[in-house]
């Protein structure tokens, strides 16, 4: 099955539960097979199957905290940050504590975590992410920037205590 391991990995990050991730991937393939006639040859299959997985995940979460949204005005705000010598990427390289990184990623809101994982782990282009998540490329870049900034802030906290400072509007 194409992309099985990668879809399972992404599902694990979304659900934060291995059994639920297995069910999610299985349901994704069932939906993909049933709806394969809607796939347009010549388009990006990977973006198509990831979109099915994501939509299935979001549908299964209706009403739960994982679907809480971030107000749109938060994304429109651009904060002027001082120039820093450290970037989230350099911090990740400097700190080898995988548990701390995993914990920081788990505390990111889903909308930021999914963009970051699709870009950095799945190595999707902005266009592929845009197609997968059905959002404009500008929103992909904005969310990716915010995800990296939030991840960097969490990893810079002393004593490794993870605390996300993002307003979760409901």
What are the pLDDT digits (tens) for 3-56? Answer: 888 899 889 888 888 999 999 999 999 998 898 888 888 888 888 899 999 999
Instruction: CATH 1.10.10.10 in the chain: give the residue spans.
Output: 72-160
User: Could you give the residue ranges of the DSSP H alpha helices within the chain?
Assistant: 4-15, 18-34, 45-60, 72-76, 88-94, 98-106, 110-120, 126-133, 137-156
User: Could you give the residue ranges of the DSSP H alpha helices within 107-157?
Assistant: 110-120, 126-133, 137-156
Q: How far is 148 from 125, CA to CA, in rounded Å?
A: 16
The fold of the 4-67 domain, in CATH, is Rna Polymerase Sigma Factor; Chain: A (1.10.1740)
Give per-residue pLDDT as tens, 50-83: 999 999 998 877 544 444 444 444 444 445 444 4
Report CA-CA distances (Å) from 109 to 38, 86, 157, 160.
30, 23, 18, 19
Q: How far is 73 from 18, CA to CA, in rounded Å?
A: 34
Instruction: CATH 1.10.1740.10 in the chain: give the residue spans.
Output: 4-67
Give per-residue pLDDT as tens, 3-14: 888 899 889 888
Two tokens at 37? 């006639």
> Which of 3.50.50.60, 3.40.309.10, 1.10.10.10, 1.10.150.120 is the CATH number of 72-160?
1.10.10.10
Give per-residue pLDDT as tens, 88-113: 665 655 555 667 778 888 888 989 99
pTM of the model: 0.58
Q: Determine whether 47 is exposed, middle or buried from the number of CB atoms within 10 Å of its CB (0-12, 13-18, 19+).
A: buried
DSSP state of 83: P
| Residue closest to 110 by CA, chosen among 54, 162, 27 | 54
């Amino acid at each position: 099955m194409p992309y099985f391991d990668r879809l399972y990995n992404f599902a694990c990050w979304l659900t934060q539960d291995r059994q639920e991730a297995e069910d999610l991937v299985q349901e994704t393939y069932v939906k993909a097979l049933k709806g394969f006639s809607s796939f347009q040859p010549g388009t990006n299959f990977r973006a198509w199957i990831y979109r099915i997985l994501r939509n299935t995940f979001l549908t299964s979460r209706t009403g739960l905290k994982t679907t809480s949204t971030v107000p749109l005005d938060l994304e429109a705000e651009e904060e002027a940050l001082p120039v820093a010598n450290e970037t989230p990427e350099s911090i990740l390289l400097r700190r080898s504590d995988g548990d701390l990184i995993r914990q920081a990623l788990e505390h990111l809101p889903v909308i930021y975590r999914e963009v970051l994982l699709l870009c950095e782990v799945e190595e999707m282009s902005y266009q592929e992410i845009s197609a997968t998540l059905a959002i404009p490329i500008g929103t992909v870049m904005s969310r990716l920037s915010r995800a990296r900034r939030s991840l960097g802030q969490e990893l810079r906290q002393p004593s490794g205590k993870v605390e996300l400072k993002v307003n979760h509007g409901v």
